[in-house]
Each structure stands twice: as C-alpha cells, then as structure tokens.
Amino acid sequence: MATIQTNTIRQPSSLELLEEMERKYKSIPIEAIVKQDILRQGIHFLPESFKIGKDYKSKDYFIFSFDHTPLADLVDGADTQAPEEIRIQGGHFALKPTVISTRNNANSPYKMKLVDGIPTLFLYETNLGNAAYPPKPAWYRHKTKSGKFPGEIAPVIEWGYLIYLTVFRNCQYFGKEEECAYCDINHNYRQQKGAGRPYTGVKDVEDLIEVLSWIDAEDEVAKVYTITGGSVLTQLKKKNEVDFYLQYPQAIETKFPGRWMGKLVAQAFEKDDCKKFKDSGIQIYHPNYEVWDRELFKKICPGKEAWIGYDTWIRRVVDSAEVFGAENVIPNFVGGVELSQPYGFKTVAEAIRSTGEGLDFFMSKGIVPRFTAWCPEPFTTLGTQAGPPLEYFCELLTVWKETFEKYNLPTPPGYGDPGPGKAVFSVSAFMDVIGYEGRN
C-alpha cells in the first residue's frame, strides 16, 4: 500500500486528483479509481442528458435511495428519468466499459451532458467518456393481475444481470435507537410513498412469481436473484423472520427450479436456520456485518448490537460457511462508514487498519467480504456529510485485492465476470480489481 495521509481531508474531485491516484495506486485499474470517485460524489444529470428516448431503464429505487439529495428536491427530471446505472468508456483515461450505480447529486462536479446526441460524462470540462444507460427489459411492458409494474416487484440491476427482490421495504429496526446509522430503507419508503409512487411495502409471492414467469420466458440476461429486505424482529404477516423470508425462495425454486442462482441478504442466522435456506435452493448468503470495528458496530448498528450483538453476529457469519461453503458466504460491509462523523475514525490510516483486520479475519477462513461505497443519504442518522476522500477507497481496494490474492481465493460467485471492462457490480469497484495485473 501507498503511504496514507494522517488526516481525513475531504478531497474535492478534480482531474489532477484522479491522475495523482492513478500514479500512486498502480495495482488497481483506473476504471476502479474513477468508479469509486463517481460513487462518492454522485452525478448531476443535466436535463438534456435525458433526451435520448424512453427505452432505457430509470431508477427503480429498489431498496435505498442511493441519492445525496431528497427525492422531493430533485429537479429537471432527475427524480423520474435518471438511469439506474451508467456505463462509461473512452474519454480522457480511455476507460474500458465501466458500470456505475447512479447517485443523484446536483452539486457534483460530475455532470452528464449530451454531445452529438450521446450522453457524455464530464468532470468539470474534461470528457470522461460516452455513457450508455441500461436497456429497459422487454418484459417491463407487462403489468401484473394485481395492477403492479415489473420494476416495482422484481427490478433488475447490474445491467440486467441481477433480479433484486426487496420483499420487505421497511425495517423493524426503527428510529435512531435501532436503525443502522447509514441506512435509509425506512426513509426511502416514506419518500417514495410521499411522492405518490406505487411502492409496495410487502410483496406478495403471487406477484413475484408472475413477474418471474415473464423473465423466465423472455429474458436471457438475468442470471441471479437476490432476496432481501428489512429485519423482522417480531412477526410480519403472522410469520417470524426466517419463515417470512423462506417462503420466497421456496416458491421460486418450486416454480423455476435452478433457473437462476439464488442469493439471500438477511441477518446473521444460526446454522439450523441457514440450513432451511440452503435446502430451499439459496446458494449464496450475505449476512452483512456492515463495519468491522466492535465499538463502531455498536454505534452505527445499534439495533443489531441490541438484538444480536457483535460477537454473535461474527460467529454466525463464520458458522454459516459450514452450511453454504465458505466461498458462498459473502458478507457486505459499508465502505467508508468507518470514517463517518461523529463516531468514526479520524484518519484514513486508522480506518484501513481496522477494516483490513476484518478482511484478513474472514478471508483467512475462505469467506470473501464485498463492500458497497457509503452514500451519505440525507434522512439517515448520519445525514449528509462530505464522506471519505478518494484516497480511502483506493487504499481499501488495494488492501482488499492484496488480501484476496494472499489467500488465493476464487472469484465470488453470483457477480458476473470480474475485471476492468467486464464487471457489472455497480455500487463499488471490488469486482473491477480482480485479476488486474497492475501497470508500470
């Protein structure tokens, strides 16, 4: 790793900064560096950038807002016309095709304009490449018998690769005393409903199976589905948490056995409950630990600490490998939240030291954590704040890649092809760095 600054100066994006990071971090591709900077800063879509027809897929707000700006404050079409993701290539750095999740931010230095009829991303005055928006699947034209649109029930992300099934769009960790401090699942639900949008809180199995039947018949791009949603502390629809979530893979695999790879993002369960999901057809398990540091876990994930506890959570993650196989346990952490204020570390060095310890702990056991880049969403406990410097994300990708290679681990399954120009995972660049051999 490179020498790390001793403070967390919030670096404004600039061409000079990107070029400095490219020179400094030679073991990670420039595509990953640019991707992480765009994720941390968001994109300002100029109204002209939406004038390319209606055949692209706009944001479905599939679980969180992933915006720096409240929905009610988005103007000039950004609230309804911003694409789910962008794929940029070419430009100043001759980027290979790079898929990046859209995070609306009217104050971002990254601006999407229209040049000769083509969406083009600029960092101030520098052209970073032509942008494509994800195609809208043909099956999005349908409507369920209950009157719901496919994007509300079973939206696709990662350029169509992943069917994202947020079957419970709230969380029973509620309020500042329980909600994860970075999470806006409950707030996003409220703002979607407040805007008058159809936004189903608990999805019916029948609706889901109906939409999946269209995907089964008409789609060859989607390869994986993820079942997820907020935590259930008591009961939901007269079911406990395990039984509530279990009904969905049971129904999917009964109707479409083996059609897609099944993934579950849920709380850390004991082995007996993990076996129920494994037996239902779930292959990949994501018991997200969010942040490695014990004290930060208590402050940033107060509900998880109160109901389950740090030690139990980590033990359950490790134990789940006995059920699913270590390579199929892929817990997420929120990259950058270790530096959030007022709770977080004061320096990049401290944050990387802590997170690197967690990476080594899991990877030494064959478990490969992945991360999403923290987006400081306005209605969360942490609220809007500057967020980590780009240097943090470059350091994080470097230590992630070094640890991954140290233990000679396989590419995480269920994420598509790895490497620059191939990766479709859009909310961090961890897949973009796999297999990259570096540059001189």
Q: 182-231 pLDDT, tens per residue?
A: 999 999 999 999 999 999 999 999 999 999 999 999 999 999 999 999 99
SS3 181: coil
Rounded to two decimals, the pTM is 0.95
Query: Distance between CA 283 and CA 292 in Å, rounded?
Result: 24
Identify the pLDDT of residue 10: 60
What integer best gives the mean pLDDT of the chain?
96
Residue 104, token pair as written in the block: 């609306």
Q: Among the residues of 53-96, which ranges form H helices?
A: 78-81
Contact 137, 219 (CB under 8 A): yes
Lowest mean pLDDT among 8-22, 109-123, 362-376: 8-22
Q: What is the pLDDT of residues 7-57, one digit of tens each?
A: 334 678 999 999 999 999 999 999 999 999 999 999 999 999 999 988 999
Query: Distance between CA 23 and CA 33 in Å, rounded?
Result: 11
Identify the pLDDT of residue 11: 78
Identify the pLDDT of residue 1: 42
Q: Is the per-residue pLDDT at 267 higher than 80?
A: yes
Burial class for 223, CB neighbours closer than 10 Å (0-12, 13-18, 19+): middle
